[in-house]
Amino acid sequence: MAKVFDCITEELQDFIASQHIFFVGSAPLSATGHVNLSPKGLECFRILSPHQVAYLDLTGSGNETSAHLQENGRITFMFCAFEEPPRILRLYGQGYTVLPDSPNWKALSALLPQIPGTRQIIVADIERVQTSCGMGVPLYEYQGQRQSLVNWASKKDEQGIQEYQQQKNIISIDGLPTPLHKT
């Protein structure tokens, strides 16, 4: 049964803190554009207040979320309980990208883990908090975080990461520029 909350309550904050994976959804305004859904891990999600969250975004093969946020700001986070009791939590909001040269980078990055390959921080002001039953979500046993992305980034120097970002992360698959396009 779905339930809507005014904010991210302490109970929901505890639920979020106990999850090892979350999903980020975003979409362009174009009806023919691609909806993006990305799984995230590495304990990089933080609750800044009952109405604001952030996560550390690492260099990857695409940068769809950032492009969508620059275009329209819409973002949804989803957390699923893969252990008992069942629960799904969605956070709906308006987000934006914070780059390393932004004035608020230092304060925000101090709240997040220091991980090789960091690209940007995604911040979202949460407008709707909703839970649902999650009874259809299968049970999974957590084994640990993958280190593949961290290991890949650790083998590159800062210039190598920036070159990769300029090749792969400045334009979305639908041709939208990302904030990295300006740097």
**Per-residue confidence (pLDDT) for residue 107, from 0 to 100:** 97
Parallel/antiparallel/unpaired status of strands 45-49 and 52-58: antiparallel
Distance of CA 173 to the CA centre of its chain: 18
Domain ranges of the chain: 3-135+147-170
Verdict on whether the full-model pTM lies above 0.85: yes
Cβ atoms of 156 and 164 within 8 Å: the answer is yes
CA distances, 33 to each of 64, 84, 153, 176 (Å): 11, 36, 30, 10
CA distances, 181 to each of 22, 36, 44, 47, 176 (Å): 26, 19, 24, 28, 10
Per-residue pLDDT tens listing for the chain (183 residues): 899 999 999 999 999 999 999 999 999 999 999 999 999 999 999 999 999 999 999 999 999 999 999 999 999 999 999 999 999 999 999 999 999 999 999 999 999 999 999 999 999 999 999 999 999 999 999 999 999 999 999 999 999 999 999 999 999 999 999 999 875
CA-wise closest residue to 25 among 153, 122, 113, 111: 122
**Per-residue confidence (pLDDT) for residue 56, from 0 to 100:** 98
**Per-residue confidence (pLDDT) for residue 1, from 0 to 100:** 80
In the chain, the amino acid numbered 90 is R
CATH architecture of 3-135+147-170: Roll (2.30)
Residue that is written with structure tokens 């300029």 in the block: 166
**Per-residue confidence (pLDDT) for residue 183, from 0 to 100:** 55
Strand, coil or helix: 173: coil
Spatial separation of the C-alpha atoms in residues 74 and 26, rounded to whole Å = 6
Spatial separation of the C-alpha atoms in residues 162 and 157, rounded to whole Å = 9
**Per-residue confidence (pLDDT) for residue 45, from 0 to 100:** 98
Token code pair at residue 108: 């925000």
